């Protein structure tokens, strides 16, 4: 499974702190949702959702980011 952060306003995927991309192939793969959440909280990245791409099937699921984590830090 691949785990990405996607900006909910623009639809762009996280690539680096200074760059977002339209291409999921260029986006940074966090590998674990916990890592994606921790990174977003640590760097105060808001208005994102978690995108999971399942290996093999390529099935895509989006999960709203737990906003209470942003406000707790």
* Mean pLDDT within 29-42: 94
Reply yes or no on whether the pLDDT at 48 is more than 60: yes
Of 21, 16, 13, 24, the closest CA to residue 58 belongs to 24
Q: What's the predicted TM-score (pTM) here?
A: 0.87
> 3-state DSSP: the chain helix, strand, coil percent, rounded to 5?
20, 35, 45
* Domain count along the chain: 1
Least-confidence region, from 3-7, 30-34, 57-61, 63-67: 63-67
Confidence of residue 70 (pLDDT cuts 50, 70, 90): low
Range of the domain at 22: 2-72
Provide, rounded to the nearest whole percent, the portion of the chain with pLDDT above 70. 89
Task: Give the residues across from 51 on adjacent strands.
Answer: 4, 62
């Amino acid at each position: 499974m691949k785990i990405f952060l996607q900006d909910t306003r623009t639809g762009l995927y996280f690539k680096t702190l200074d760059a977002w991309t339209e291409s999921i192939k260029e986006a940074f793969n966090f590998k674990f949702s916990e890592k994606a959440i921790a990174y977003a909280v640590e760097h105060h990245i808001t208005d994102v959702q978690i995108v999971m791409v399942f290996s093999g099937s390529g099935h895509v699921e989006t999960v709203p980011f737990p906003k209470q984590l942003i406000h707790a830090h």
